[in-house]
């Protein structure tokens, strides 16, 4: 018996499997609420962390216009949060597609 370790669908599957394992026993409404809250928290944490770090490291002699430094990171973080939210909302489908029970490994 060989332990199945490949991840066919990359990081989206890994996130969905973790979320699926942690949310077992929750209703569909509770899962959707947790997925939304997780995406919002990730956006806030990434944005705050970036601006705290950037205020200490970015000098005025940068080649990028200031509006780019102010708007690009939140847009990237928002996109990442939306992708995360979609993956978490689809965790049941991803778990079915990968034939997984969550983080519980099975033998092929």
Report domain extents, the chain: 10-97
- Predicted model pTM: 0.66
Least confident piece of the model among 1-10, 20-29, 82-91: 1-10
Q: How far apart are CA 81 and CA 34, in angstroms?
A: 13
Query: Higher model confidence: residue 13 or residue 66?
Result: 66
Query: Higher model confidence: residue 50 or residue 13?
Result: 50
Q: How far apart are CA 85 and CA 65, in angstroms?
A: 31
Residue 69 banded pLDDT, cuts 50, 70, 90: confident
């Amino acid at each position: 018996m060989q332990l199945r370790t490949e991840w066919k669908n990359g990081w989206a599957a890994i996130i969905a499997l973790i979320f699926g394992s942690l949310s077992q026993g929750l209703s569909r409404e509770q899962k959707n609420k947790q997925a939304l809250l997780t995406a919002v928290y990730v956006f806030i944490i990434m944005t705050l962390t970036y601006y705290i770090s950037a205020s200490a490291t970015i000098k005025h002699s940068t080649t990028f216009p200031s509006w780019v430094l102010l708007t690009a990171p939140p847009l990237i973080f928002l996109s990442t949060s939306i992708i995360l939210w979609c993956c978490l909302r689809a965790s049941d489908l991803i778990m079915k597609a990968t034939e997984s029970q969550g983080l519980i490994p099975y033998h092929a």
